[in-house]
Structure 1
Amino acid sequence: MSQRTYRVIFQGCVLLCIVSASLYVHKQWLQGTELMHWKNVITGEKQQHFAQERHGPDKKNSVESAAVQEPRKNVQIKQKQSTATNKPKIYSNRYLLPFRPNAAGGCNHQYWRFKRGIMMSYLTNRTLVMTPFFLHGGHVAGYTREHLRPFNATFDADMLSKVVPVATIEAFKRVCNRNNTKVILWPGERERYDKIKKSIYTDMVEVDLPSEDKVIILEQMQLDKVVSITENETCVALSIDELLHVKFNNTEQLQNLIDKYLVPAPKVVRIVNDLTKKICHGKQYLAYHWRNQSAEVVCFFGRGGNEKECASRRKVIRRVAEVSAEAVTDLMKKEQIECIYLACPLWALEMVDILSKRIPRASIFTSGDILGSTKYQTLLEDYYTLSLVEQEICMRAAIFVGTVHSNWSGMVKANRAVNGRTSHKIRDIIVKLPEDVPSGLLR
């Protein structure tokens, strides 16, 4: 054969090898794609199952709609893709410490303020420092080391990291100190700064912040001003107290994202997975958060007032409770819900007797009813965790009725709203308020 023939044969072999290799690669790609597709399908089904255990079953499934799902083994919840737009690039080595210059407010007031910290972390392209919270409110007063509660005992850090990068206090302290941390406060907060800095951040949280003469006071909340001041700063401590009163433009989607992903700690979720089986034999229930703050401080905690005044207030509270119980049980009948979970302080359990006049006692569930086993009985003395547990129980209810002017109820309603669940304020479901019940006491 001629040299030309050998060349043609050689070129043909090379072409055949190229075609064969291409077909093989394409086949492997198709197999990989198909495998990934089915992996996503299976994962999606599992994640949907996990989500149902917290948020309840799909209402379209009429067979399972009345039952509580089996406990999930993985507490991570498959959420819809973020609806927030134009998410900025976030640098993991740029920290934002949500700073609270006012040591006041119950647990849920602290949570509301922290949600503003999440928003500011997102808007300023910074990693959020997970600050601790304090058991405070009701019969517990004062921000003390004894009342300090770590972030991971309250919320799920892994879920929150789907909204913003997060860092522990320890990570912040390794990088940030009094010499390189920029502190931003609002008018009227300077005089409180040194006291709070020492009593909470230095003595308890052990964060080294700059002295009062080094802080920056901004006259009004201007996001672009905050960004420009801190543009080249690694460490920023931003006061979040006054941010509760600031309205940010075009942040509704971001707020919904925060409400969706700020979920209880895995320990809390696991406890509630067990406890919901004990409520109404695993069937759907209505949850009612009952408390009357108008007389708690004076009558239950002994801070001011006298017995005569308390006796008068208790009489009115009793009447308020009766009106509320009537409205709630009427709603249960209307929605054909058999059972109620009553979330209330231990000093307000008289509501159980009032409800029992209208529905069977066996249909009423409280923390005392479902924490009878030795496994969870200690929760009755752990008010901080018990509160989180009851909020999650209310979150999973078919219908939730909240107390007016309550941050506790507000946290539940916000989380339920982004998950498409029905909530009511007690005042809104009362058909007519009797003349002997002042509307100001229904709170």
Structure 2
Amino acid sequence: MLPQHGYQRLFLWSTCFCLIAMVIFYANKSSWIQESEKYGTERGKKKTGTPIEDDFWKTTSIRYEPTRSYNQVLELGDINANSVTDSKVSPTSFSEVGFRGNNDTPTRYLLPVKSAISGGASFQYKRLKVAVRFALLTNRTLVLTPFVLDGGHVRGFSEDRVRSFESTFDVKKAEALLPLATINQYIHECNDKRSTVLAWNFYGERYETVREKLFQPILGINLPEADQVHPLPNNNDFDEVGAETENETCVALSVDGHFIATKPLIDDDIAKTINKGLTPAEEIRIVGKYFSDRICQGESYLAYHWRNMSAEMPCFFGRENKEVSCADRLKEIRKLAEIASDSVVDLVMKENVKCLYVACPLWSLEIVDILSKRMPRKDIIISGDLDVPDEYKPYFEDYYFLALVEQEIAFHAAIFISAGKSNWSDFVKGRRESEGKVTYNIRELAGLTNVSYNMV
């Protein structure tokens, strides 16, 4: 038995040892990781209240716990119309959604296979636009497949990481664009048949992952294996492919890679029609309009989407890269952020708008400090500054829906400044341009057109 003072001495030595070990452990982390922790945890929790994993530097990095699983629309049906908004929301569940019939001719389905291995939700929306374009040109009925949480904040397949089509887009408005079908309808008609899968820029491994981990176990849809997919070169026209599959009932469309970045960006009447038809769900529009009317006490504001890719490839959330010094990359991005901020504030002053709304990921919040050196912080608003009614808090606790709400806020802005390279920004820009609203690209605005893809 040790005397009491011996236990005290042992406790003190143990405590000192632990503190020294912690200091050594933290000091050995790269400055890149330390910066990620600083702006991903302290500032993130302070500004937004969003729960974040303590082990920020691990491969999975920031994790936002989803609040709703697939087929569960956020319950806003009990919103008090008098106290919050003039429009009372009564969301329709997926099973209750009805579509116009195709009684005259047999239904020919088009199933979008949106790869959920590369890119976030807005990249999946871009793939959806490709599928809608194909369906319009080939007179097919679009199957409403869901979206998967697969941005920088969370990866992997599970039911609670899937968000339904109708909680993302307005089904009634989409149905005015083209005929629609539910997943159950596709299963009923096609699961016992062999679907023909068409693919541009085909990645067999990605397709197999999505087929095995999403379509079969979660959605219940049978798709052929990768070796039975029909890969197509980029120069194939939609009309030509549509003619070849005219007599087939069940067609799935898989699009990926370079094809997404070129052909779908055709600026024609079809693209404008798609941008107008793919409107955010009514609940999203109501929440977004509520805040856009209040952000600047009803006066005009400028929305700025800042997305430096410091936390993404090649420095994926603090993982050091052999070819790129992530610490050096962070310094370079900060210089670009200073230049970009000068241009943003100049435009705010020139256009005489009252406020600046900044939409950015948690790991990019340093932009607020940089902007605050150039204009009053009280005139800069981020999501964490908003006074959110209890009825709307579910939209701010789920990162997927928060992104949609912020896109809606950006859509309503007097002026929108898009990120240099961003599917998030492109989605907002397409909607704004379809209604003649002004949008600037930060690279062009700040003279940063020669900056590499992975910077701003």
Same fold, TM exceeding 0.5? Answer: yes
Aligned to 1:257: 273
Aligned to 1:365: 381
Aligned to 2:199: 185
- In structure 1, how many angstroms separate the alpha carbons of the residues matched to 2:356 and 2:311? 25
**CA deviation vs aligned residue, 1:399-441 (integer Å, no higher than 9, x gap):** 00011111111111111111100000112222x66xxx98336
- In structure 2, how many angstroms separate the alpha carbons of the residues matched to 1:74 and 1:252? 36
Aligned to 1:13: none
Secondary structure in 2 matching 1:341: strand
Aligned to 1:394: 410
The answer on 1:351 being equivalent to 2:377 is no
- In structure 2, how many angstroms separate the alpha carbons of the residues matched to 1:344 and 1:90? 48
Q: Which runs of 5+ in 2 are unaligned?
A: 1-83, 90-102
What is the total number of aligned residue pairs between the two structures?
356
State the percentage of identical aligned residues.
42
Q: Which amino acid aligns with 1:321?
A: A
Moved over 6 A (4+): 248-251
- In structure 2, how many angstroms separate the alpha carbons of the residues matched to 1:272 and 1:205? 30
Secondary structure in 1 matching 2:129: helix
Q: Which amino acid aligns with 2:338?
A: E
Secondary structure in 1 matching 2:247: coil
The answer on 1:221 being equivalent to 2:236 is yes
**CA deviation vs aligned residue, 1:183-222 (integer Å, no higher than 9, x gap):** 2234644565444322221112210223455543445524
Secondary structure in 1 matching 2:153: coil
- In structure 1, how many angstroms separate the alpha carbons of the residues matched to 2:326 and 2:219? 39
**CA deviation vs aligned residue, 1:28-85 (integer Å, no higher than 9, x gap):** xxxxxxxxxxxxxxxxxxxxxxxxxxxxxxxxxxxxxxxxxx966389xxxxxxxxxx
Aligned to 1:439: 451
Secondary structure in 2 matching 1:93: coil
1:202 to 205, 209, 216: 216
| Offset of residue 394 of structure 1 | 0.3
- In structure 2, how many angstroms separate the alpha carbons of the residues matched to 1:232 and 1:148? 32
Higher alpha-carbon deviation: 322-331 or 140-149: 140-149
Q: Which amino acid aligns with 2:362?
A: L
Q: Which amino acid aligns with 2:378?
A: A
**Equivalent residues of 1:114, 1:240 under 8 A apart:** no
The answer on 1:119 being equivalent to 2:133 is yes
- In structure 1, how many angstroms separate the alpha carbons of the residues matched to 2:287 and 2:334? 33
Aligned to 1:337: 353
Aligned to 2:282: 266
The answer on 1:147 being equivalent to 2:164 is no
1:396–1:224 distance in 2 versus 1, CA, 3 Å: closer
| Offset of residue 358 of structure 1 | 1.9
Q: Which amino acid aligns with 1:103?
A: I
**CA deviation vs aligned residue, 1:268-312 (integer Å, no higher than 9, x gap):** 111112222330101110000012114545667123349x94443
| Offset of residue 180 of structure 1 | 4.4
**Equivalent residues of 1:178, 1:210 under 8 A apart:** no
* RMSD of equivalent CA atoms: 3.0
Aligned to 1:62: none
- In structure 2, how many angstroms separate the alpha carbons of the residues matched to 1:236 and 1:348? 41
Instruction: Return the structure number with greater relative CO, CA threshold 8 A, min gap 6.
Output: 2
**Equivalent residues of 2:302, 2:356 under 8 A apart:** yes
1:256-295 equivalence runs, <5 A? 256-295=272-311
Aligned to 1:232: 247
**Equivalent residues of 2:129, 2:264 under 8 A apart:** no
Aligned to 1:164: 178
1:370–1:191 distance in 2 versus 1, CA, 3 Å: closer
**Equivalent residues of 1:113, 1:244 under 8 A apart:** yes
Aligned to 2:188: 174
- In structure 1, how many angstroms separate the alpha carbons of the residues matched to 2:441 and 2:405? 21
Aligned to 1:79: none
**Equivalent residues of 2:169, 2:279 under 8 A apart:** yes
Aligned to 1:28: none
1:186–1:347 distance in 2 versus 1, CA, 3 Å: closer
Secondary structure in 2 matching 1:161: helix
- In structure 2, how many angstroms separate the alpha carbons of the residues matched to 1:416 and 1:273? 15
- In structure 1, how many angstroms separate the alpha carbons of the residues matched to 2:267 and 2:313? 36
Secondary structure in 1 matching 2:375: coil
TM-score, reference length from structure 1: 0.72
Secondary structure in 2 matching 1:183: strand
